[in-house]
């Protein structure tokens, strides 16, 4: 009889331990972080041109520049953004300086035409960031530091400094687990 009682008590204890373990595992699973849900991330970006008149002779990217020369640079601000893979990215780009800009983001097939982004205008581009890595955002009008061909529309000849490149970057991270 004692053996039967001992076996019954052991069985009840074992069932109790299994129940406690099950409850503990269920609590741990419910505390685990949920899977990442892609979001829409909106950024206001400014396309700008900056210039100055040189007050002394300088070397600009290996080229001698003289006092009185105009020195130009083209930028996106912010020039760097980070999102997670799967996020929808909305860039609202405002052209503050320069007659026109266009925007290319080749990794995602996104483009804004120069007719849509002239001085004082704002244009929007939307895409899904579906490729991890570092990706370029650039203006094809200001895509190089030196003209690779004659560009009469901006008064530059092949080899002239043109103030570019006008480039920004999008870092697409793998989502948190």
Calpha distance 48→44 (Å, rounded): 13
**Mean pLDDT across 30-48:** 87
Residue 162: partners with Cβ closer than 8 Å, 6 or more residues away: 72, 142, 144, 145, 146, 147, 151, 154, 156
Question: Taking 90 as the threshold, does the pLDDT of residue 175 lie above it?
Answer: yes
| Domain-wise residue ranges, the chain | 1-32, 40-173
**For the chain, counts of helices (H) and of strands (E):** 1, 11
**Mean pLDDT across 46-53:** 86
Q: How confident is the model at residue 22 (pLDDT cuts 50, 70, 90)?
A: low
The answer to whether the predicted template modeling score (pTM) of the entire model surpasses 0.75 is: no
User: Among 45-54, 125-134, 149-158, which is the least confidently predicted range?
Assistant: 149-158
**Mean pLDDT across 17-39:** 66
Average pLDDT of the chain, as a whole number: 80
- Which percentage of the chain shows pLDDT scores above 70? 69
**Mean pLDDT across 15-23:** 53
**Architecture in CATH for domain 40-173:** Sandwich (2.60)
Q: How confident is the model at residue 73 (pLDDT cuts 50, 70, 90)?
A: confident
Residue 50: partners with Cβ closer than 8 Å, 6 or more residues away: 72, 73, 74, 75, 97
**Mean pLDDT across 40-50:** 92
């Amino acid at each position: 009889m004692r053996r039967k009682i001992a076996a019954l008590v052991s069985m009840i204890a074992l069932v109790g331990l299994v129940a406690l373990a099950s409850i503990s595992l269920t609590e741990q699973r419910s505390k685990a972080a949920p899977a990442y849900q892609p979001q829409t991330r909106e950024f206001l970006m400014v396309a700008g041109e900056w210039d100055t008149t040189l007050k002394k002779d300088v070397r600009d990217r290996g080229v001698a520049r003289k006092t009185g020369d105009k020195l130009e640079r083209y930028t996106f601000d912010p020039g760097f953004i980070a999102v997670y893979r799967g996020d929808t990215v909305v860039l609202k780009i405002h052209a503050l300086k320069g007659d026109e800009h266009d925007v290319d983001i080749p990794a995602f097939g996104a483009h804004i035409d120069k007719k849509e982004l002239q001085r004082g205008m704002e244009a929007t581009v939307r895409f899904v960031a579906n490729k991890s890595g570092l990706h370029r955002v650039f203006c094809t009008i200001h895509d190089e530091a030196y003209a690779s061909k004659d560009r009469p529309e901006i008064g530059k000849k092949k080899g002239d400094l043109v103030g570019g490149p006008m480039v920004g970057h999008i870092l697409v991270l793998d989502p948190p687990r």
